[in-house]
Amino acid sequence: MYYKVLVDGAEIGTFGHPSVESIHLSVVGSNDGMYFSANAVCAEDDKRVFLDWLQCDLKPTDIVEIRRTAEGDVSDPRKRFVMGRPKREPSLERMCDFCQLNETEVSRLVFIDEHRPSICAGCVELCNEILRSSA
């Protein structure tokens, strides 16, 4: 999916990707000013990637046109990053604060940081059973 964007008849770029999941071509405005932005979420090699091409200032009198187009010369994005959480290796030091089993001994551990309690999937299921039986 590709789009050509023009401001007052002058092309500012073509934006898109062969595997677009969602594309955002937006005019954003407030009392402080207006601008146009182009970004998208795309699939690349079994990963989701966020692409951010540009943000250009607009005047209140500017006319913005967005036209669907065939593949074109798409600019390199100014920002590109792979979305999702990085995989974390299980640790003997992270443990469930309820059953005291470490992360290598449980199927899954909800761990935020060292200042908050952690809980494993088994303890979550036990809590759910207790709540169901007391209802």
* pTM for the whole structure: 0.60
Report which residue type is found at 104.
T
Span 34-92, pLDDT tens digits: 999 999 999 998 889 999 998 899 998 999 999 999 877 888 899 999 888 666 778 88
Which residues touch 38 (CB under 8 Å, ≥6 apart)? 5, 13, 15, 23, 24, 25, 26, 52, 53, 54
Span 18-48, pLDDT tens digits: 999 999 999 988 878 899 999 999 999 888 9
